[in-house]
Amino acid sequence: MYQNELSNNSVISTNHIICWSGGKDSTATVILFHEHEKELLKPGDKVTILFVEVMYDLKRNISGHNPDIIDFIYEKKKIFESWGYNVEILRSKDKDFLTNFYHKLTRSPDPERVGKTYGFVSSSSICAIRKDCKLKPMNEWNKLHANDNQVQYVGIALDEPKRLESLHKQPDRASLLEKYGYTEDMAMELCRKYDMVSPQYFLPGNQMRDGCWFCPNCKFFESKNIYERMPDIWEEYVALEDTPNLAYPKWNCYSKETLKERDLRVKGLYKQYSIFDYITQ
């Protein structure tokens, strides 16, 4: 199924590519591959695990991912390498949150924004960080390494029928969770068995995501964790709100809360936590 057989009985090797975010579904996919290697791997096949790291500041090597999650990624990378897999952590060569923040907007549907300093992530649906810092490094890697005999495994579970439906339309993609009958809960159980549960699942209210900590989707306890783990960077980030003439001055396009107000909340100066901190932004 994953290998092309030639008429003379020789075989073409397959590149197995696993897209890994560190979350339970993609981590369980790597584990399932490992457990079913005998069935999936043929002589000459290669296995590559790809993780794309978005950076807050490339020059100072400051990740855009929560430090606990990025530590988890580098720790588990070593285990996957010990299983014989090539693990690549891809990064943009020249783009990060700060380059995006400080660049001057030369085009915009809103003429008032042209010429201004870009500012914060304007919306998670048209996220420039995603385009420049996630998709571009992935596309560049694909251009260099992709061939006709590759399978890309995506962590989509049995109980995600809509996502599976769109996956089935892409002939070079597959879900091992589907193939081996794993729901999302079972994927988590498998991660527990291998001690590979990402710290993203341990924050109160499951508030840590595997995305960037400067994302408009960033939840309260995620911000608090960044303040506790990287206080200087957090202060620097909050101060960006004072930058004059920003095309996108709001750090969070989904909330009325300013960054200064969130700063006070994470420092416990604004008010005591309420139930809403656990369930809202």
Query: Which residues of the chain form contacts with ligand SF4 (CB under 6 A)?
Result: 54, 121, 124, 127, 129-130, 134, 211-212, 215, 217
Q: Between 176 and 215, whose beta carbon lies closer to ligand SF4?
A: 215
Cα separations in angstroms, 179 against 29, 33, 175, 261, 270? 10, 11, 6, 47, 49
Is 125 strand, coil or helix?
coil
Kindly tell me which of 25 and 178 has the beta carbon lying closer to ligand SF4: 25
Nearer to ligand SF4 (CB atom), residue 61 or residue 82: 61
Q: How far is the CB of 206 from ligand SF4 (least distance, A)?
A: 16
- The pair of structure tokens assigned to 51 is 């993780």
What does DSSP say about strands 15-19 and 246-248: parallel, antiparallel, or unpaired?
A: unpaired
In the complex, least distance from residue 87 CB atom to ligand SF4, rounded to whole angstroms:
21
Give me the least distance between CB of 10 and ligand SF4, in Å please. Answer: 43
56 with 63: CB under 8 angstroms? yes
d(CA 57, CA 95): 9
152-to-48, 156, 185 alpha-carbon distances in Å:
10, 12, 22
The nearest distance, CB 96 to ligand SF4, in angstroms, is 11
We find the least distance from the C-beta atom of residue 14 to ligand SF4, in angstroms, to be 30
Closer to ligand SF4 by CB, 16 or 130: give it: 130
Task: Give the nearest residue (CB) to ligand SF4.
Answer: 211
Q: Which is nearer to ligand SF4, 55 or 190 (CB)?
A: 55
> How far apart, in Å, are the Cα atoms of 98 and each of 101, 103, 120, 237, 248?
5, 8, 9, 10, 14
